[in-house]
Structure 1
Amino acid sequence: MKISPFFHDLRSAYQAEIDDLTEDSEGKDVLRKRLAQKRSEMGFLVKMMDAAPEMVAVAFHQGFRFNDLKSMEAVISQGHADLPAWSSLTHAVVLEPWAQALVKSVLAEPGGDRFMVVAAGLEYLQQQARFAQASRSADDSDAQDSEDDDMDAAEHDDDYDALSADDAVDPQNSRSREEASANWLADVGFERKD
């Protein structure tokens, strides 16, 4: 995925904005509540579209579904001056019903068309990062499960305190049933009687 310097810089700011909205000072997840508040303030926020697009774009967080990834890849590879018209992305971007009214108010503003392309690009980047992270987490989890299985197998193979059937019939064996029982009890948390 080729990202233009324009989107590269905005992506970090956009993610930081989402992170700031996600939790309150007590660590509670308040993202939905804060996004609803941002969306209700759209009349004021549109005045900041050019100066701080990431602060306005978060109002559209989770408001886009992407049907044509190639078109979105082309968008995020462009600089601000080379962005396509919003109307050219109608086949690539599907708006959630709640976002449609917000888009109308943004498009009524000067620069609204370009801003909607920026907002879609930022959300596309955020979704791609989330999918990549989930994929890496799944891969890491699979690797950890495999490691855990190997460790469990090694523990069972190295169960030196267990009394095997050979121990019970071999009088030459140095371990007795009592020692094996004491070891087992100690392993499960009981104190030894020494």
Structure 2
Amino acid sequence: MNKKAEKREVAMAKILNATLDLIARKGLAALSHRSIASEAGVQLAMTTYYFGTIDNILVEAFREYRKSMEPVNMGIVVSYSELLARCVDDQNELADRDAYIEGLADIFAQLIDTGPTTRLRQLQIECQYLYEQHPSPALAKEIQSYNDELTGHAREFIAPLATRSPDLDAQMFLWMIQSLEFSQVTSVGIKGQSSRDVLVRMLRGFLV
């Protein structure tokens, strides 16, 4: 039974990794049981046997993608915590707003402006999922859950600035970061300015 379970786990992992690789290279439209099985190097019947439908594969693959993002998102949270500790006074009030804005922009610029090489596959996958126009209800729920998680982090980042519309500003901040990131893997980019400059200007604008 242990060998059978191990074989099952290996086959499922191959199928999900193959699905994510296809999404990164060719997009969601390229997915079929046949293309996934061929990419994974497994028998065609195995994709149906283990997952049933393409929609089920997409949901499970998105969950795997989300796991791969945990170290990235946790690194951002740790950097944010360190920045906040440097910028607050003894009463935990933001003492140096400019330093906080500059530092927050630095954190995300380091993630974005290093180029797509380190996170190319992740960005290609996320862009395909988040811009999917007709997700199944189950996939839409997973994507919304992930967006809610990211929005929650964005609220934490914006909260110390005590802006007039913190929820809206957090959502705008998240949208801008995603736009800057996705510009690395799409034909539409923001030219002439670094991501850091864009983010600094946006964050300062929240205070007007």
The answer to whether TM tops 0.5 is no
> Which structure dedicates a bigger proportion of its chain to helix?
2
TM-score, with structure 2 as normaliser: 0.28
Larger radius of gyration: 1
TM-score (norm 1): 0.30
